[in-house]
Amino acid sequence: MGDCKLYDIWCENATEDKDLIEELKSIENQDTEINDRFYTSLKFGTAGLRGVIGAGTNRMNIYVVRQATQGLANYVLNKYGKGAVAISHDSRIKADLFMIEAARVLAANGIKTYITRELEPTPVLSYLVRYFKCQAGIMVTASHNPAKYNGYKAYGEDGCQMTDEAATAVYDEIQKLDMFNDVKIADFDEALASGMIEYVDDSVYDSYLEKVLEQQVNPGTCKGADLKIVYTPLNGCGNKLVRRVLKTIGVEKVDIVAEQELPDGNFTTCPYPNPEIKEALQKGLELCEKVQPDLLLATDPDADRVGIAVRDYDGSYRLITGNEDGVMLTNYILSCMKEAGTLPEKPVVVKTIVSTKLINKLCEKYGCELKNVLTGFKYIGEVILNLEKKGEENRYLFGFEESYGYLKGTYVRDKDAVVASMLVAEMAAYYKKQGKSLAQVIDAMYEEFGYYLNRTVAFEFEGETGMQKMAAMMQQVRDELPEAVDGYKVVKVSDYQRKTETDLLTGTVEQLTLPTSNVIALHLENDNAVIIRPSGTEPKIKLYITAVGKTKDEAEKVCEGLVSSSEKILGI
């Protein structure tokens, strides 16, 4: 078995991390365990690297991080001749170690490296790349994955996550390298003393916060609103900056979920620290029952996404979906700016293709251009960049994706839970002064436009066979397109891999201009839809369902039918 040869090489060379040495010893002569760690290498893609922490080419460890960073260094030097890179990390296990190892490799390659003294949110890393005019950035995070994972997100000079083209070029460089023999590595203290590695000064975070505060829609609204918030950073890195921004805008009453306040990569009270799922918010909801706030805010471990719950009519707490929050924030920004006469000419709102269609109605109402982009916030960043190139960045108002990622402003190029937390608090205070809760606000929008229910259903397929199974499922859907889903006729099909959009009513086929992506969207009658895509970061196939009804019950019914019918189509 070829993997055993690799295993032997690792036993001989992986001598700098005692955890890896122990793990390698513990799997001796266990073919299945060895194969799982060595049958493939973590692939460097547009989301960088992500994997389980441990020994082997198929795991996150210092050797895989060093090899990836050498590949990144070669890419930067080939493209720019010289360069600078900013690096930060969240609360993940070994995240600070991986940051330092990456910095050592960059310094050894003559690349100036800026690192943070402690964990910082992902949007701050995006800000640092632009602030220091770097050619690339690295964020050590696995976002909302369980504790056993870590990851390495790579950023381009524009502060966006790397494009497909750049990620492919870096991956090509990584492929040429032997991870034990071809990686340059500097002594950390020497690199620090010589200035090749430099810690980011605290004043830089002050300038970031100034930019966040510039995004207020109605400055001063929170003062005197008596707004009460429960906040949980989910043991991640939002704690300091989110609390600071809330205090600055005048939110006096903030209760913190004590068990989830401090950084902890084990996430003991929320094994799956994803604000999209109720279990992650459980501790926050329990505190809400005690202190009865207007609002619960929960930022994910790398503080680029925020989940919320609001007090309902009966005093219980209602979870607000990412789509609902995105729609409310868009409505708040558009309606207030229109009223104040500050809406720019031809305003632009951006959403991902899997996010709610309710936003279309809102944009029509305010004469706002809506741009649809592929899943991944870098595509929203790309829209900002293109507007910037034309000197029209002020047209960009807001961008969001259904998985709780939001951005107002152009100071960073990634979703930002710090600005989103601020805006949600401001919006809640604004409506509270009018005697309305956020539950009433979203319900009024459903009353006006119809009930748009969005549901994401994920099916997990672990390991090598899982990947093959997912590929076969996608192929089968393409080869045997359904005429209807649960009785709702398919009126249009968008295939983002074949880059075609087929109108089944007229037979016309249009070319899609978005980048190639393995996504199929089935547009159905009555504005219903089913979008199918394999996740880029996890071994899952995801269904994004849009179900429309006059009421929530009606939409729920439609949704159930669409889910079970889609499962049959996929053969699950």
Q: Which residues are designated catalytic?
A: 143
Measured CA to CA, the distance from residue 284 to residue 289 in angstroms comes to: 9
Distance of alpha carbon 354 from the chain centroid: 14
Distance of alpha carbon 469 from the chain centroid: 25
Residues with Cβ within 8 Å of 335's Cβ and at least 6 positions away in sequence, in order, are 366
- For the chain, first and last CA: distance in Å? 33
List Cα–Cα distances, 282 to 184, 197, 286, in angstroms: 46, 41, 6
The CA dihedral of 384, 388, 394, 399, to the nearest 10 degrees, is 0
Backbone φ and ψ for 492, nearest 5 degrees, come out as -155, 145
* Residue that has been written with the tokens 């710090």 in this structure: 418
Pairing status of strand 112-115 against strand 84-89: parallel
Q: Where are the alpha helices (DSSP H) in 367-518?
A: 377-389, 417-432, 438-449, 463-479
Measured CA to CA, the distance from residue 416 to residue 305 in angstroms comes to: 6
- Considering only CA atoms, which of 78, 235, 62, 84 is closest in space to residue 152? 62
Measured CA to CA, the distance from residue 110 to residue 285 in angstroms comes to: 49
Measured CA to CA, the distance from residue 536 to residue 470 in angstroms comes to: 12
| Sign, CA torsion 133/97/419/327 | positive
Residues with Cβ within 8 Å of 485's Cβ and at least 6 positions away in sequence, in order, are 522, 524, 528, 530, 562, 565, 566, 569
Measured CA to CA, the distance from residue 107 to residue 158 in angstroms comes to: 21
Task: Indicate the SS3 state at residue 88.
Answer: strand
Task: List strands edge to edge, sheet with 317-320.
Answer: 253-256, 228-232, 295-299, 306-311, 317-320
Question: DSSP letter at 143?
Answer: T
- Which residue type sits at 85? V
Residues with Cβ within 8 Å of 163's Cβ and at least 6 positions away in sequence, in order, are 46, 156, 378, 382
3-state helix, strand, coil in the chain (%, to 5): 40, 20, 35
Residues with Cβ within 8 Å of 504's Cβ and at least 6 positions away in sequence, in order, are 489, 490, 491, 492, 493
Task: Indicate the SS3 state at residue 140.
Answer: strand
- Which residue type sits at 247? K
Measured CA to CA, the distance from residue 196 to residue 188 in angstroms comes to: 9
Measured CA to CA, the distance from residue 221 to residue 238 in angstroms comes to: 23
* Residue that has been written with the tokens 């390495």 in this structure: 152
The CA dihedral of 41, 46, 52, 58, to the nearest 10 degrees, is 0
